[in-house]
Each structure stands twice: as structure tokens, then as C-alpha cells.
């Protein structure tokens, strides 16, 4: 767990997080629809999902998923279906959900968790890189060290995506139609579901 190894892991995480994918698409859509505050619950769910994969990798449970592909396949499709339900609700809603509403917060948090836990690329990232960087035998100490890297690096990249999307929203010459933006969010979450499903 040298400084060089930690820096390499942080860089790999930042690059992987910055690449467009289900997480960045869904997060950007939420920020576009309601500003950075609307994307916060989804971003929190994404970070918590990554921490969950980190914990699974350290405890060896992640290796079990790698050993039993059917289980990983089922998890991926459950997550994709859940995202599909969220996308459908966003599309059919008659009024935009207030970003600060507890129901909206819970829905965003669950969507972020679903994207992170069902995304095979997230699973493979942690299964492949963590064992080379951390001592799995250290248990809680290894998880704490990983969390100290994951939360600021991944959270920072997600925040940058949200701010960039919100800047696009502010660049509209006229105030955007909330209903239209909510439908855009629904389409983006549906696209995230498809990307998760096809792995």
C-alpha cells in the first residue's frame, strides 16, 4: 500500500469514473433536469454502490460472484429492471419531482445503488484492481483506506459531471420546460438500464 500504488489506483478510478457510461449518463440527466442538488442522491447511491463492491472484493464475496456467473447475471438484470421502472415513472410523471422531496431523494439513491451494484464494469474494476493494491487480510483497515480514496476521487468526478450538466441547463436562452427535462431524465435512466443489461 505504497504511495505510488495508491496514486495509481486513484488515477485508474478517476479515469474509469470519468468515462461516459450508465452512471455518468443518469447523473448528468438528473443534474440537467434539476441542477446539481437533484443529482446528489443519485451520486450518493453511486458512491455507496462502489463502496459495497469494494467491501465485497476485500471480503472475497466478489470472487464468489466471479466464480458463479449466473449470480452476477441475475444481479445485473435485477438492477437493469429496477432502472427501467424508475425510467418509466419519470416518463409518465405528470409533474416534475422536487429534488428536495424525500421520495425523490430515495428514488435517486436507489437508482444510484442499482446502477453501481448491477454494472459489471464496476464489479470487474474492483475485483481486478483491489487485490493488487490492498491486503485483503487487513479487513476493516483495508476498507477504510480504500474508502479514503474512493469517496473523494469518485465523488469528485461525479460532482464535475453534475456541474457540467447543470451549466448546460443554465445556458438555455429560455427556462427549460421541467416536464421535458424530466422525460429526458427518464430516457437517460432507460439508456443506463440498457447499458447495465448488455454489460
> At CA 51, angle to CA 41 and CA 118, rounded to 5?
75
pLDDT digits (tens, 9 = 90+) for 96-136: 444 444 555 788 888 888 888 877 778 777 776 666 666 65
Domain spans in the chain, listed from the N-terminal domain onward = 23-198
CB-CB contact of 199 with 120 (8 Å): yes
Give the residue ranges of DSSP H helices in 2-139.
Answer: 3-18, 22-34, 36-59, 61-67, 69-92, 102-118, 120-133
Average confidence (pLDDT) over 16-31: 84
Which letter does DSSP use for residue 68 in this model?
-
Is the alpha carbon torsion for 177, 183, 186, 191 positive or negative? negative
Is the alpha carbon torsion for 17, 196, 102, 93 positive or negative? positive
pLDDT digits (tens, 9 = 90+) for 39-80: 899 999 999 999 988 888 777 765 666 677 777 677 667 767
pLDDT band, very low/low/confident/very high, at 153 (cuts 50, 70, 90) = very high
Amino acid at each position: 500500500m505504497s504511495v505510488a500504488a495508491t496514486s495509481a489506483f486513484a488515477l485508474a478510478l478517476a479515469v474509469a469514473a470519468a468515462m461516459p457510461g450508465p452512471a455518468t449518463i443518469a447523473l448528468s440527466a438528473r443534474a440537467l433536469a434539476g441542477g446539481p442538488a437533484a443529482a446528489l442522491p443519485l451520486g450518493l447511491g453511486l458512491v455507496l454502490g462502489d463502496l459495497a463492491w469494494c467491501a465485497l472484493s476485500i471480503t472475497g464475496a466478489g470472487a464468489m460472484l466471479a466464480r458463479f456467473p449466473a449470480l452476477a447475471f441475475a444481479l445485473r438484470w435485477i438492477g437493469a429492471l429496477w432502472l427501467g421502472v424508475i425510467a418509466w415513472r419519470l416518463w409518465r410523471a405528470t409533474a416534475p419531482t422536487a429534488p428536495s422531496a424525500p421520495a425523490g431523494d430515495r428514488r435517486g439513491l436507489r437508482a444510484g445503488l442499482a446502477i453501481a451494484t448491477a454494472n459489471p464494469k464496476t464489479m470487474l474494476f474492483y475485483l481486478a484492481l483491489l487485490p493488487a493494491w490492498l491486503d485483503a487480510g487487513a479487513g476493516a483497515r483495508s476498507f477504510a483506506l480504500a474508502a479514503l480514496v474512493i469517496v473523494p476521487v469518485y465523488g469528485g468526478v461525479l460532482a464535475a459531471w453534475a456541474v457540467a450538466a447543470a451549466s448546460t441547463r443554465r445556458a438555455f436562452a429560455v427556462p427549460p420546460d421541467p416536464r421535458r427535462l424530466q422525460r429526458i431524465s427518464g430516457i437517460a435512466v432507460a439508456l443506463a438500464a440498457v447499458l447495465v443489461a448488455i454489460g
